[in-house]
């Protein structure tokens, strides 16, 4: 009886040890799982015009700059365009936007429209602005050189004016003022298939180089019809991911590039707001102050100090302003409602703005060495727990 009692006590003792080991092992396992979770979490990167004024109107009249184009289909079809200027020296060209309304006498005063009625706020003004930017009208020297290269300036002026008229004819078909812009089939034929340009006084020919003027005009008008304001300023990667730096001191975004589909971006500036301490840097990590000029070919990166990143969602507003070298258009009208509206080409720069938000959320990154230490300790304890369970579960020899 005594032997049986002792064996029963031994069994109970072993059972208690086993139960305790299992509980301890579960505790260790839970700690290890928590350690793994902590390690995993700490490895995740959290964070994210022209100056306008009145001018006197001047036209070239019947002199050597009165340009005439002849149709390829019928030599009797002509389109004569008198070059128009906003000064008596005939150095600042302007363009007609109402083909079928007469021009005033030389010296007539034209007054600039107010901003609300200006070209960029007009339904069709952006297309005109595109033509001005990509033709002889542009103040950009490279555009002037490339537009109908080899042709005389008079031909380039004619093509620019003809492109504006064709664009307005094709876009105003359903407009109440279509009669002001309507082109006859004969005029359209001349615009798209001119074979020669002549002076009206002596019929000497102008040089057109090797250009197919009609095709150049057709492509210019098609592009103008497809143009929209958003295409002027392009910003890539408007929601960049931020990653912790090697020295664990800050988060930095991916590269952000700014460009222009019109290839006339001089420079741009960036301003950050909404999160104290956020700033921008160049490719070498040099800080760029808010609203400082950045060359068009250069990119920028957003940085956030590690101690500024919290568990709350924060937003950085990024304002980008692009400065363009481009023709800016202004509508001018006379007091005489029977005389046409004209558009002048401003020679000053203009700007476009865009903005976007970057979300910053999470917590400052903890050192990876700490996470690895927690992971290692948890794993060792887990293995020890398994060993304890195995040792206590193994049956021992019973001596007879």
* Mean pLDDT value across residues 9-31: 49
**pLDDT at residue 62 tops 70:** no
Q: What is the pLDDT of residue 38?
A: 35
* Residue 301 bridge partners (DSSP): 281
pLDDT tier at 262, thresholds 50, 70, 90: low
Residue owning tokens 């306008």: 52
* Mean pLDDT value across residues 167-176: 91
**pLDDT at residue 40 tops 50:** no
What average pLDDT is seen over the chain? 77
Cβ-based neighbours of 322, under 8 Å, separated by 6 or more:
232, 233, 258, 260, 265, 268, 351, 352, 353, 354
Cβ-based neighbours of 346, under 8 Å, separated by 6 or more:
49, 50, 51, 52, 139, 327, 328, 329, 330
**pLDDT at residue 3 tops 50:** no
**Contact in structure between 320 and 276 (CB atoms under 8 Å):** no
**pLDDT at residue 319 tops 50:** yes
* Residue 267 bridge partners (DSSP): 295, 323
**pLDDT at residue 367 tops 60:** no
pLDDT tier at 2, thresholds 50, 70, 90: very low
**pLDDT at residue 336 tops 90:** no
What is the residue extent of each domain of the chain?
17-44+365-393, 55-230+327-346
**Contact in structure between 125 and 329 (CB atoms under 8 Å):** yes
Q: Specify the pTM.
A: 0.59
* Position with higher pLDDT, 66 vs 369: 66
**Contact in structure between 324 and 260 (CB atoms under 8 Å):** yes
Q: What is the pLDDT of residue 228?
A: 62
* Mean pLDDT value across residues 57-76: 67
Spatial separation of the C-alpha atoms in residues 325 and 264, rounded to whole Å: 6
* Angle at which helices 153-171 and 213-226 cross, to 10°: 40
**Contact in structure between 216 and 166 (CB atoms under 8 Å):** no
Helices (H), 71-152: 125-133, 141-146
Q: What is the pLDDT of residue 364?
A: 47
* Mean pLDDT value across residues 267-284: 95
pLDDT tier at 390, thresholds 50, 70, 90: low
For the stretch 131-163, pLDDT in tens is 988 999 887 788 888 999 999 888 999 999 999
For the stretch 75-98, pLDDT in tens is 667 888 888 888 887 777 889 888
Spatial separation of the C-alpha atoms in residues 153 and 174, rounded to whole Å: 34
For the stretch 226-258, pLDDT in tens is 876 555 788 988 888 888 899 999 999 999 999
Q: What is the pLDDT of residue 287?
A: 97
**Contact in structure between 261 and 379 (CB atoms under 8 Å):** no
């Amino acid at each position: 009886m005594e032997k049986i009692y002792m064996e029963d006590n031994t069994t109970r003792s072993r059972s208690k040890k086993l139960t305790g080991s299992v509980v301890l092992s579960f505790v260790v396992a839970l700690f290890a799982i928590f350690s793994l979770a902590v390690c995993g979490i700490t490895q995740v990167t959290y964070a994210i015009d022209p100056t306008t004024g009145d001018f006197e109107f001047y036209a070239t009249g019947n002199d050597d700059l009165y340009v005439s184009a002849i149709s390829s289909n019928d030599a009797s079809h002509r389109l004569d365009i008198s070059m128009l200027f906003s000064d008596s020296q005939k150095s600042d060209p302007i363009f007609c936007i109402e083909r079928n309304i007469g021009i005033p006498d030389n010296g007539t005063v034209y007054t600039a429209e107010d901003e609300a009625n200006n070209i960029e706020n007009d339904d069709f003004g952006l297309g005109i602005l595109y033509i001005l930017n990509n033709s002889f009208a542009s103040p950009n020297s490279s555009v002037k050189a490339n537009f109908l290269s080899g042709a005389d300036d008079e031909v380039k002026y004619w093509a620019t004016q003809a492109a504006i008229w064709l664009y307005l004819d094709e876009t105003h078909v359903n407009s109440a003022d279509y009669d002001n812009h309507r082109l006859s089939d004969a005029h359209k034929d001349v615009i798209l298939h001119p074979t020669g340009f002549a002076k009206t006084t002596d019929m000497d020919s102008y040089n057109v180089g090797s250009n197919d003027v009609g095709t150049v005009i057709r492509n210019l008008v098609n592009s103008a019809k497809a143009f929209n304001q958003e295409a002027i300023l392009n910003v890539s990667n408007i929601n960049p991911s931020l990653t912790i730096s090697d020295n664990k001191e800050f988060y930095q975004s991916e590269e952000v590039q700014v460009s222009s589909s019109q290839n006339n971006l001089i420079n741009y500036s960036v301003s950050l707001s909404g999160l104290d301490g956020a700033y921008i840097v160049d490719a070498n990590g040099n800080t760029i102050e808010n609203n400082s000029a950045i060359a068009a070919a250069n990119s920028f990166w957003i940085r956030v100090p590690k101690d500024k990143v919290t568990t709350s969602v924060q937003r950085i507003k990024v304002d980008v302003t692009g400065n363009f070298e481009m023709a800016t258009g202004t509508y001018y009208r006379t007091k005489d409602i029977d005389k046409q509206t004209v558009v002048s080409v401003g020679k000053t720069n203009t700007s476009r703005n865009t903005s976007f938000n970057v979300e910053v959320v999470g917590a400052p990154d903890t050192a990876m060495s700490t996470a690895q230490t927690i992971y290692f300790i948890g794993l060792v304890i887990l293995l020890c727990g398994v060993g304890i369970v195995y040792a206590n579960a193994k049956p021992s020899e019973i001596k007879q």
